[in-house]
Structure formats: C-alpha cells, structure tokens
C-alpha cells in the first residue's frame, strides 16, 4: 500500500521558485502537448495572474491546476491546466486536485462562482465534482471542449 505524503501548495506566480515553475511547465507540456498530441501556446500570459495549486511528493509534482480570478478567462473565477502526472495516475489525484481547487477559488474569490473549459470526454468526471454543463461542445486546439460551471 502506497502511503500518500503529498504536500499541497497554492502560491501566486511571483512566489514560485524557478524549480517549481520549471516542473509545472514540464508537466503541462508532457501531458497537454506531447501525450495529447496538441500543439498550442501553453505559456499564455495568464500564469502571472493566477494561483498555482500543486501536489508535491519528494520534490516531484504529481498534480496541478491553475486558478484564475474573475474577469480573466470568464466573468467567474476559473480552474484550468488541470493535470496529473502520468507516473501518479490511479491515485485519485485528479479528484483531489479539483476538490482543492474548488475550495481555493471559493475561499479566494467568494461569491464569484467557478467556470471551467473542460475537455468534453471528462464531462461526467466534472459533473461528479459539482459542475454543470452550460455550453454545447466546441473545438479548442483540435480537442472537443465544453464550458461548465460549479454549482454550490
């Protein structure tokens, strides 16, 4: 049985160490660009405006998401770049990082709501965490997406 000893942190951009930033960008590139075979501009000038929730174990980034304030991507606050390291899959870290992201956004921007642009194949996953689909399927960088809002 694997004992989970994950440390969760949610620093603003300027409080990330160079090493943390490198690991975040490496994991996002590994999954979103290489694994999903999707060429897109990951470094999008929004990282500086958000909180960076990461689950770290022995110096390795296992799960991550970016939380953005209201008015940046949507009128509501948002969660994005949600990713679990391929080496850490099967440990329920996807649900854990999203749950923690919801708590982070609700505490940081109370009353603002939360909207996400989710990959369409993950609709049921996000519904199970309290999100409701509010758009038709649309194409984003060659991948079907839907807009979802968190329902308190």
17-35 confidence digits (pLDDT tens): 999 999 999 999 999 988 8
115-152 confidence digits (pLDDT tens): 999 999 999 999 999 999 999 999 998 899 999 999 87
- CATH code of 7-150, in short, is 3.40.630.30
Q: How far apart are CA 50 and CA 73, in angstroms?
A: 11
**Phi, psi of 50, deg, nearest 5:** -115, 180
Bridge partners, residue 78, by sequence: 68, 115
Does the structure show a pLDDT above 80 at 85?
A: yes
Q: Please state the domain extents for the chain.
A: 7-150
Lookup: tokens for 77: 């606050």
Confidence (pTM): 0.93
- The pLDDT assigned to 151 comes to 85
Provide the mean pLDDT of the chain: 95
Q: How far apart are CA 58 and CA 56, in angstroms?
A: 7
């Amino acid at each position: 049985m694997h004992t989970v000893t994950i440390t969760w942190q949610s620093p603003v951009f300027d409080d990330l160490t160079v090493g943390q930033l490198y690991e975040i960008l490496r994991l996002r590139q590994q999954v979103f660009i290489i694994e999903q075979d999707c060429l897109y501009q990951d470094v999008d000038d929004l990282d500086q405006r958000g909180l960076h929730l990461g689950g770290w174990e022995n110096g390795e980034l296992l799960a991550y998401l970016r939380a953005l304030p209201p008015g940046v991507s949507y009128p509501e606050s948002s969660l994005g770049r949600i990713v679990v390291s391929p080496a850490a899959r099967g440990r329920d870290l996807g649900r854990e990082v999203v749950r923690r992201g919801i708590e982070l956004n609700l505490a940081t921007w109370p009353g603002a709501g939360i909207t996400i642009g989710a990959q369409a194949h993950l609709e049921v996953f996000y519904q199970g965490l309290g999100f409701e689909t509010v758009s038709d399927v649309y194409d984003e960088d060659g991948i079907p997406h839907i807009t979802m809002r968190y329902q308190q």
